[in-house]
Amino acid sequence: MKWSTAAGLVIATALLLSACSSVHTSDYADARPNLDMLDYFRGDVHAWGIVQDRSGKVIQHFTLTMHGQLLPDGDLAIHEVLDQSDGKQKLRDWRVHRADAHHVSAIANGIVGEAKGEQYGDALHLQYVLEETTGSGSVWQFPVDDWFFLQSDGGIINRSTGSKWGFHAFDVITFFQKAPSNP
C-alpha cells in the first residue's frame, strides 16, 4: 500500500470514530432544569474559574461579572468584565439573539464573526472563534467549543475547550451564579 493511501485510511478512520462519539445538544432535551441563555444571563451574574494549558496545568484564575439587559427588539445585551489573576482586565460586550426555542447566535468584541449556539434541556452549546492578542502583539484565533450545564441550585458549570491548528490548546472551567435579586 502506498503512503498516501495508508495516510488516507488512517485519517478517514479517525474522522469516522470522532463522528461516532460526538455529543449533540439535543441529547440533553429531557434534562432539567431548563437552561435558556437569554433568561439566565439577564440581570447580574457572577462567575469564577480557571484556565488550563493543554497539559492540564492551571495558568490563570479569574472572576467574571456580567450584566445582561433585554433590548426592545428581544435581543440580550451582556456587558462582561473579566478580572484575571495576573492583574489584567478584559471587557467584552455581547449581543445575543434568539432565533427560536433551541438556537441562539451572538456577536461580541474579541469574537470573530458570529457565535452559534444550541440549547436543549439543561444544556447550552456555543461554538465560536476567539481572537486574542499575545504579549508580543501577535493576534491568534482559537476555535472554541463551549458547554454550559444548569444545576438544580441555579448555578451553571461551564467547560470551554480551545484549539489552535486543529490541536487542543486550552480548557476553561467556569462556575456561574445568578445574583439573588434576579428573577
Q: What is the pTM of this model?
A: 0.86
- The whole-number pLDDT of residue 135 equals 80
pLDDT band, residue 4 (cuts 50/70/90): low
Q: Where are the domains of the chain?
A: 35-178
Cβ neighbours of residue 118 closer than 8 Å, sequence gap 6 or more: 25, 26, 102, 103, 104, 124, 125
- The whole-number pLDDT of residue 14 equals 47
Stretch among 5-9, 75-79, 82-86, 132-136 having the lowest mean pLDDT: 5-9
- The whole-number pLDDT of residue 3 equals 47
**Under CATH, to which class is 35-178 assigned?**
mainly beta
Nearest Cα neighbor of 47 from 155, 182, 151, 167 is: 155
* Tens of pLDDT, residues 69-78: 999 999 999 9
Any bridge partners for residue 171, and if so which? 52, 161
As a whole number of angstroms, the distance between CA 80 and CA 29 comes to 28
* Tens of pLDDT, residues 20-46: 458 999 999 999 999 999 999 999 999
pLDDT band, residue 180 (cuts 50/70/90): confident
C-alpha cell at 181: 435579586
Strands 156-164 and 167-178, sheet pairing:
antiparallel
* Tens of pLDDT, residues 87-131: 999 999 999 999 999 999 999 999 999 999 999 999 999 999 999
169 has a pLDDT exceeding 50: yes
- What number of CA atoms fall less than 13 Å from residue 130's CA on the CB side? 19
* Tens of pLDDT, residues 40-53: 999 999 999 999 99
147 has a pLDDT exceeding 50: yes
